[in-house]
Structure 1
Amino acid sequence: MPVPPLPPALEHVFTIEVAISPPLSNGAGENGERKHIPITGGTVSGPLLRGRVLPGGYDWLWQRPDGVAEVNAHYSLEAEDGTLIYVRNFGLRVALPETRAALRVGEPVDPGAYYFRAAPVFDAPDGRHQWLRETLFVSRVTPQPGGVTVDVFRCL
């Protein structure tokens, strides 16, 4: 009898606190609504990476007609040693209409009331931070007033 496969373990490596400006919108259409969310800064802290989020990135969120939001964020981090790291973070937020309404106006919502996960991909130069481009990651995203918290875990 075959042994069932073991799922990969996860290790928390750092948390990104992303500051954002209010979303800009194309307006609703037959395919949903595209939101342009400016990334204005933030911090990176954790056991394996510390630094800051550079202003100038964007999340091009697509609010689909079925209520699912597709996250497509692109931004840069600057590690404490000055290394620049490019981030592409793709994810899904699934929530009931009343939960989406509460999140939209910044009300606190129990993270168990919605599903918000992403898969960040990092582009780092050779050297101290190249492990970021050689590893698969998943993240839990939690909306906060004026931003989001991205808890990043590497798959072991």
Structure 2
Amino acid sequence: MTTYEPMRPGLEPLARFRVELAAVKELGQTQWGRRRVIDVLGGSFEGPRLAGEVLPGGADWQVVHADGSASIDTRYTLRTHDDALIYIQTQGLRHGPPDVMAALGRGETVDPATYYFRLAVRFETAAPGYLWLNSTLAVASGMRAATAVCYDAYALS
């Protein structure tokens, strides 16, 4: 009898993303936590398989929980170097020690090794050269700066 085991996923670098952000809009405390909306102003991405610009529009519809952790939920549009449009959505978590999370909340740049910021990334496009993204699940490791978020995305193989 043949025994099979699940494949161990690998990581293939896609791109480094830099997403420029507007000031935080605090919606206030809801039943889910403190709701914040952070508009996307633009940005860029570059890597071995993807390069181009982050278009203005879209946002992070974020919830900050009582323990200071944040649930990330972003949606925005990319334009590649060869003019293809790609919809991107990320969902993730950011958490760390209270003093680190407070510093991030004040807009300070903090060493990303002192907190956890990970994302699941999905893409959608009709551009022929990028159809492979529609069936690609990616993960990312990020960091928050005062006016931007930066993350490295990897396709799961």
TM-score, normalised with respect to structure 2: 0.91
1:49-77 residue CA offsets vs partner (Å, 9 max, x unmatched): 11100001110001122332100000000
1:106 aligns with 2:74: no
Gaps of 5+ in 1: none
Match in the other structure for 2:9: 8
Matching residue of 2:58:
57
Q: Does 1:123 align with 2:124?
A: yes
For residues 31 and 4 of structure 2, what CA distance do their matches in structure 1 show?
47
> Pairwise CA RMSD of aligned residues?
1.7
How many residue pairs are counted as aligned between the two chains?
155
* 1:37-48 matched pairs, under 5 angstroms: 37-48=38-49
- Tell me: CA distance 1:146–1:125, structure 2 relative to 1, closer, same or farther (3 Å): same
Corresponding position of 1:146: 147
Report the identity percentage: 36
Runs of 4+ in 1 over 4 A off after TM superposition: 2-6
SS at match of 1:98: helix
| Residue number in structure 1 paired with 2:92 | 91
Residue identity opposite 1:76 in structure 2? T
Specify the code of the residue in structure 2 equivalent to 1:50. A
TM-score (ref. length: structure 1): 0.92
Structure 2: 5+ residue runs without aligned partners? none
Q: Match of 2:150, SS?
A: strand
The CA distance in 2 between the partners of 1:41 and 1:18, in whole Å, is 6
- CA distance in 2 between counterparts of 1:31 and 1:134 reads 31
Offset of residue 39 of structure 1? 0.4
